[in-house]
Structure formats: C-alpha cells, structure tokens
C-alpha cells in the first residue's frame, strides 16, 4: 500500500474519516483514557458540581475494591456467567447450526428464522417476560416441569437458582446469532471432505468429530471471543429480573459498577471497577487468540 | 426406510426446538390480551379466555407509552441515518483512498474493538454533562454513531469497488465528494443496509446508556420506561406483557421484512473476521 496518493485524494481521505475519528475520539478514546485517570481519584457527587474538590488518591480505590466483599461476589458471579453461559450458548448454537444445515431438512429458512428471532428482541422486554415465566406458582417453566414430576422451583428467589435462570434466558436470547456464524462456517467446509470420508466408511459422529469440528476451528475462536466479551458485560438481565439478588447471587461487575457510579455517585471507585472489567476482557481475548495460534500450529 | 425415519426424527426435533424458542414470545403476545389477573392462575392459561385490548389502551393513555415510543424511534432512526453516512464515508476511505497514516489509524481502531463500551461510560457521563447533552436525544444516540465494527464491515465490502472506475471518474474531473455520492454510495448500498439494520437494532434495544444519560421521564426510551414500569407494576402481568409487545414489535417487524440483511451481515462479518 503506497502512502500519500495525490494531494486531492489524500485530503479527501482525511476529510472522509474525520467525522468518524472525531466521534470515536471524543466519545470513546478520551473517555476510556479518562476511566483510567478517574480510577486514581476520589471523584464523587461533590466533584460533579466542582471539579476542584477532586483529589488524586493513587491506588486507594483499587485497595478499597480488593477489600470489598461485594466486589469478589460480583467477580465470582460474572465469572460463573461467562464460564458456564458462554460454552452453553456456543454448544446450543453449534447444535442448532448442524441440525439446520442438514441436507434433508425442508423449510430451512423457517427454522433458521425461528431460532434467530429471540436475538433481535429487546433484552429489557424479554427479561420482563421471563420474570413471569419463572414465577414459582404461575410460571410456564414450573408448569412444564410439574408434568415431569419436578417440584416447584423458586427460580429467581433462590440464590442457587437465580444465576442459572439468568444464564438460561441469556442462552435463549443469544444462541441464534452464533448459530448463523456457525452456519457460515459449516457452509465453507468443502463437500468433498465428507464424501471421501463416507467412502472410507466413516459414520456421522466420526465425520462430525474429525472433519466438522477441526474445520470450524477459526469459527470457534471468533464465537469464543465475541461471546466472552459480551458476557463480561452482563447487566440488563440482573438489573431487570433480580436487582442483583437474592442475597447478591446475581450481582455482576457491571451492575456493581453502575450502582457505585450512578446510584452512590462514587465515580472514582466505580472507574476502578471499569478498569478491572477492561483488564479481564483483555486477558480473556489474549488467551483465546493464543489458543488459536496453538491450534493452528 | 432408514433415511425416512431419520428425516422424520430431524424434523420432529427441530419443530419442538423451534416451538420452545418461540414459546416465550408467543406467550408474551397471548398474555397481553388477557384480562387483569388472568395469567396468575395455576396452571397458567395459554390463550386468553376473553381477549381484551384494555392494556394497550392503558399503556398509550395513562402510561403515555406513545411518547417513549417516539423517543425511541427518533433516537434509533436519527442514530442509524448518521451512523450509515459517517461509517460509510470512513469505511470507503480506509479501503480506497490513499492517504498518509491510513494503515496505523485503522489498526488503532481495530485494537479499540476489544474494549467494552461500559469502560467509557463514567467519563462519558461527566463529559456529556459538561457539554449539556444529558437528557437530550443526541446524548442517547452517541454510542451508536460511529461503530468500529461498522467501519470494518464497510471497508471489507468497499475493497471490491474497482479502482479503474474511481480513476476514470477522477480523469473526468469529478470531485472526491461527487465520486462518493454518485459511484461509491450506491455500490455500497447492500452493506450500508446491513449496517443500518444492525445500528437500528442496537439503538432501539440499548438499555444501560439511555438509563444513565436520560434521567428525565419525558426523555425516556421504551426499554428505560418499561424497566421503570416493571418495578411499579410487578403484579400487572398482562399490562407488562402489552408493554413488552410494544417494545419488541418494531424491531421484530424490521427483522421479518429485512432478515436477509441481518443474515448476510452476520455470515459475512464472521467468516472473514
């Protein structure tokens, strides 16, 4: 790629990217840097009225954070959500993609749309719907389970069940997106590979295990990174369904950050949580990219 | 024979799975037409015994959902139009216009993609407060205006525009802006449509940022208003289902009519990404 170009072209180039760069700079890059700075200050409700009252406090917010039990609870809950919900969602997506991709299937677009539909819905709205579906007495889930002889479960009221309930909602809401990603990956696998394997007498499971899965390697990395980044940010589900309860069993990092920052106006302390969120996402992404390199070798 | 059994099995499994996936949405619609209190019986009724529109009437009169609907629509439509224009220009320039610093700037943008948006929210709130943009529709639009993934998507697509076409137009004396308007913009139409539906969807469905930036009831978007209502009307299942239907309906209709843009966008973005 040659740098430069003609004068007019270069000027136009900069003119065309400037609105985007300005917006990203002012409303994303500067605030991200600001979050780091903010996390070293005691910025609070008084600072909003008068910036001068803000003091630099060094690492105090981080020390406080590490000694706040609720932070560890939120970290544990978020990790639970990421580590259980992510793979579960990917597995559901892959299963749906393999079934929808089957050659003998009719009405393929209909099934594809049915599975994708939850993804386009508004999270707040469906979280409210699911809150009633999970109702211990009148909810559809318990009504269905009672037919199987399983006793009523207080899904959102029991600290052990609240997070699984939120994970289930989230898998239902999101698996359709990754199903499409996996479908694209499946359609990129050359048909000849399967034909050759069939001639060699390989069964369906064998073909799936030794052709489909390895060929989907890069797709898995993409799905893994995107799902993980999104999962770390879980906020609306607990905000709407449980407010972080019961007994803080669904308090997540971003919910904790929101409450500290915008309910108690401890913005400096809250910014330290934002930085932790950033670091976690970064570490997670690097780990997965490393995994990709390892599998490609 | 074996093949036939397999085919029946596959269709049965998928039909059940599709029904389960659709069940929450179907029940939402059904319950929104039930009489007050009807959904709270055991076992839960699947269909309204006496369908009624009273919840929709209440939502649009006493609960002024119409105003929140308009707010949501203005934010989503305005944000989408601006985003398509801004991202379209930037994506094209990164793909086709040669200028110094292009590659490093683009790589910088890509690196920014792994940073969660929430990291920026606290300083952004302070910033927008200083700019007087709190409680404004523009303030709520800000996060969707220049999506980096969108620039990436447009750039991928714009690379297929033949250089000869652009050079010929330049030889004819067309200005770069004119070339963009009359050659590039039309040929980017499919990818811009994809970008448009995604931006509309994320602006309409967004919750956390509008919740932070819109503290004044008159400016609430539908999701923010709905979350508030859900706190006050915990017992009014049928009413809340009506509110959920109103919130979901526009994005759902957009999906039904424009699904190929969603599906193409996701499938194209992921294979190359």
Task: Indicate if the pLDDT at residue B272 is higher than 80.
Answer: no
* Class of the domain covering A62-296: mainly alpha
Q: Report which of residues B261 and B124 the model is more confident about.
A: B124
Query: What does the pLDDT look like over A90-105, one tens digit per residue?
Result: 999 999 999 999 888 8
| Alpha-carbon B200 to chain mean position | 4
- Would you state the structure tokens that stand for residue B93, as one six-digit string? 């320039």
Interface residue A118 vs chain B (CB under 8 A): yes
Q: Do A23 and B27 touch (CB under 8 A)?
A: no
Position B151 pLDDT exceeds 90: yes
| Among candidates B6, B27, B226 on the partner chain, residue whose Cβ is nearest the Cβ of A133 | B27
Say which residues have a Cβ less than 8 Å from residue A162's Cβ, sequence separation at least 6: A155, A156, A242, A245, A246, A249, A250
Which of B152, B146, B145, B82 lies closest to B111 in space, CA to CA?
B152
SS3 percent helix, strand, coil of chain B, rounded to 5, is 75, 0, 25
Task: Give B115's contacts in chain A (Cβ within 8 Å).
Answer: 28, 32, 278, 281
Q: What is the DSSP letter of A151?
A: P
* pLDDT tens figures, B65-101: 999 999 999 999 999 999 999 999 999 999 999 999 9
Which residues from A are below 8 Å from B90, CB to CB? Answer: 16-17, 19-21
Q: Give ∠ CA A213-B12-A125 in degrees, rounded to 5.
A: 80
Residue from A113, A129, A270, A273 whose CB has the most chain B CBs within 10 Å, to mutate: A129
Compare all CA atoms of chain A with the CA of B40 and give the residue at the minimum distance.
Answer: A138
Does position A53 have pLDDT exceeding 90, yes or no? no
Place of tokens 């039309």: B186
Q: What are phi and psi of A89, to 5 degrees?
A: -65, -40
Would you say B224 and B211 are in contact if contact means Cβ atoms under 8 Å apart? yes
- A36 at the B interface (CB within 8 A)? no
**What mean pLDDT do residues B123-132 have?**
94
Contacts of A130 in chain B (CB under 8 A): 24
Q: Which domains does chain B have, with CATH numbers?
A: 58-272 (1.10.3720.10)
- Chain B residues within an 8 Å CB radius of A16: 89-90, 92-93, 97, 176, 180
Q: How far is it, in rounded angstroms, from Cα A255 to Cα A251? A: 6
A117:B127 CB<8 A: no
Kindly report, residue by residue over B166-225, the tens digit of the pLDDT: 999 999 988 999 999 999 999 999 899 989 999 999 999 999 999 999 988 899 999 999
Q: What is the C-alpha R_g of chain A? A: 24
d(CA B230, CA B215) in angstroms, rounded, equals: 17
């Amino acid at each position: 790629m040659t740098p430069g170009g003609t004068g007019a072209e270069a000027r136009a180039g900069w003119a065309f990217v400037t609105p985007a760069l300005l917006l990203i700079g002012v409303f994303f890059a500067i605030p991200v840097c600001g979050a780091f700075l903010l996390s070293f200050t005691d910025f609070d409700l008084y600072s909003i009225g008068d910036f001068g009252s803000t003091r630099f406090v060094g690492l105090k917010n981080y020390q406080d954070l590490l000694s706040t039990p609720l932070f560890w609870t939120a970290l544990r809950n978020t990790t639970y959500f990421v580590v259980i919900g992510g793979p579960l969602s990917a597995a559901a997506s892959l299963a749906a993609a393999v079934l929808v991709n089957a050659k003998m299937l009719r009405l393929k677009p209909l099934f594809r749309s049915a599975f994708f539909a939850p993804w386009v819905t508004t999270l707040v709205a469906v979280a409210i719907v699911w809150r009633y579906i999970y109702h211990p007495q009148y909810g559809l889930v318990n009504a269905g389970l009672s037919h199987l002889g399983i006793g009523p479960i207080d899904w959102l009221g029991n600290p052990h069940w609240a997070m699984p309930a939120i994970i289930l909602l989230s898998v239902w809401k999101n698996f359709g997106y990754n199903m499409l990603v996996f479908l694209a990956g499946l359609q990129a696998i050359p048909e000849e590979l399967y034909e050759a394997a069939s001639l060699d007498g390989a069964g369906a499971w064998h073909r799936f295990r030794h052709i489909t899965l390895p060929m989907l390697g890069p797709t898995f990395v993409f799905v893994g990174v995107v799902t993980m980044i999104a999962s770390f940010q879980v906020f609306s589900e607990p905000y709407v369904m449980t407010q972080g309860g019961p007994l803080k069993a669904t308090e997540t990092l971003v919910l904790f950050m929101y409450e500290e920052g915008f309910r108690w106006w401890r913005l400096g302390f809250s910014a330290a949580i934002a930085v932790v969120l950033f670091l976690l996402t970064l570490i997670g992404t690097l780990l997965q990219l490393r995994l990709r390199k390892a599998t490609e070798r | 024979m074996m093949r036939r059994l397999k085919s029946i099995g596959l269709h049965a499994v998928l039909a059940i799975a599709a029904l389960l996936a659709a069940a929450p949405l179907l029940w939402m619609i059904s319950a929104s037409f039930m009489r007050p209190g009807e959904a709270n019986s055991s076992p839960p009724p699947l269909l309204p015994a006496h369908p009624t529109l009273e919840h929709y009437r209440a939502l649009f009169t006493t609960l002024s959902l119409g105003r929140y609907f308009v707010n949501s629509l203005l934010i989503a439509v305005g944000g989408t139009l601006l985003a398509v224009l801004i991202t379209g220009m930037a994506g094209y320039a990164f793909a086709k216009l040669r200028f110094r610093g292009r590659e490093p700037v683009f790589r910088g943008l890509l690196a920014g993609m792994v940073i969660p948006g929430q990291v920026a929210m606290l300083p952004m709130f302070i910033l927008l407060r200083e700019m007087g943009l709190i409680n404004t529709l523009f303030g709520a639009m800000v996060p969707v205006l220049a999506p980096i993934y969108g620039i990436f998507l447009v750039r991928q697509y714009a690379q297929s525009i033949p250089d000869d076409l652009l050079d010929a137009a330049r030889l004819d004396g067309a200005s770069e802006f004119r070339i963009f308007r009359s050659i590039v913009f039309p040929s980017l139409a499919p990818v811009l449509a994809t970008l448009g539906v995604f931006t509309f969807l994320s602006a309409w469905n967004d919750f956390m940022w509008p919740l932070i930036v819109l503290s004044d009831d008159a400016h609430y978007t539908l999701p923010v208003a709905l979350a508030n209502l859900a706190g006050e009307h915990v017992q009014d299942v049928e009413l809340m289902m009506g509110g959920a239907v109103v919130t979901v309906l526009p994005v759902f209709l957009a999906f039904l009519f424009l699904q190929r843009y969603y599906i193409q966008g996701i499938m194209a973005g992921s294979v190359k990404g």
